[in-house]
Amino acid sequence: MAINPVPQSTDNLRWYCVRTEPNREGVAHRHLSAWVEDIYFPVCERATVLDITAPRVDPETGRLSRVTVGAQRVSGPILRGYLFVRLEMSEAAAIEIGATNGVLRLYPSNTKPHAIGDEDFAALRACCDMLAASSILEEDHKWMIGKTLRGTSGTYAGYQGPCSDVVKGHAILLLEMFKTVIPVPVPVECVEQDPVSVAVQETIEGMSALRYKGRKNTQKRGALAS
């Protein structure tokens, strides 16, 4: 049962980051809205398309198939897997948020959630609102997803973190700020792949190649011996 909304002092209201289950941001938003008055859940039109198909009978063979007759752009969250709540945090509220349908946890944990600074959240919100209003749909630079990127210029120069998504020319970096992790949109021209992570990845790939070559040589020697 959800906690009943109670009057809260505006002096104690803070923003908190909520991690949702994959592709269930809307479910979490709907259930949290039942008792949390202020929720930030930015969405935009994504380049992702849904193929619209229709049944078709081949006149020669009589076989039934489906053909694409069109495509549709769909709206989706700017920060996949995340939304933000503003409230006066308490132990009971943290437990209720963590138990909400569609929610994984508060950041960094349900027992010790950390508030986001007002200036940091204002900058994040301004960028997300700008992306929501943008008409740009191209989502190139998909290679960035999963890579550790570092800010080279702008507000987040020097910060680094894994890239979880790319939206409208912005890499969504998971940055640790004030003891919590915040998904932050950063222009792709203002980031670069962290050289240390590149070297580590190249080392891992080189070791994997050597192990594969070793297995092939062992199999070859076994085949010759038999």
Q: State mean pLDDT over 163-184.
A: 84
- Hey, is 208 helix, strand or coil? helix
Same domain, 25 and 110: yes
pLDDT at 6: 45
Same domain, 17 and 56: no
pLDDT at 182: 85
Q: Which of 38-47, 61-70, 145-154, 216-225 reaches the highest mean pLDDT?
A: 145-154
213 pLDDT above the threshold of 70 = no
Distance CA 183, CA 172 (A): 6
Nearest to 154 by CA among 130, 111, 185, 132: 185
ω into residue 108 within 30 of 0, thus cis?
yes
Same domain, 107 and 52: no
Looking at residue 143, what DSSP letter applies?
A: G
Same domain, 169 and 102: no
| pLDDT one-digit tens code per residue, 12-46 | 899 999 999 998 999 999 999 999 999 999 998 76
Same domain, 86 and 32: yes
Range of the domain at 161: 135-197
pLDDT at 168: 85
Q: State mean pLDDT over 158-183.
A: 85
| pLDDT one-digit tens code per residue, 82-111 | 999 999 999 999 999 999 999 999 988 888
Same domain, 56 and 31: no
| Domain count along the chain | 3
Cα distances (angstroms) measured from residue 174 to each of 45, 155, 163, 188: 22, 15, 6, 14
pLDDT at 4: 46
Same domain, 21 and 56: no
More confident residue, 226 or 163: 163
| pLDDT one-digit tens code per residue, 112-170 | 888 998 888 998 999 999 888 876 655 568 888 888 899 999 888 989 999 988 888 89
Same domain, 35 and 50: no
Looking at residue 146, what DSSP letter applies?
A: T
Same domain, 20 and 83: yes
Cα distances (angstroms) measured from residue 22 to each of 18, 68, 102, 152: 12, 27, 8, 30
- For the CA atoms of the chain, what is the radius of gyration? 23
Question: CA angle, 218 as apex, 212 and 222 as ends, to 5°?
Answer: 145
**What are the DSSP calls for 52-90, one per residue?**
EEEEEE-TTT--EEEEEEEEEEEEEESSTTEEEEEE---
Task: Give the residue from 86, 115, 144 where a domain finishes.
Answer: 115
Distance CA 216, CA 179 (A): 47
Q: Exposed/middle/buried for 165, CB within 10 Å: 0-12, 13-18, 19+?
A: buried
| SS (HEC) of 95-138 | HHHHCCCCEEEECCCCCCCCCECHHHHHHHHHHHHHHHHCCCCC
Same domain, 107 and 153: no
Residue tagged 């120069």 (tokens): 157
Give the predicted TM-score (pTM) of the model. Answer: 0.69
Could you tell me if residue 26 is inside a domain? yes
Report how far apart the first and last C-alpha atoms of the chain are (Å, whole number).
69
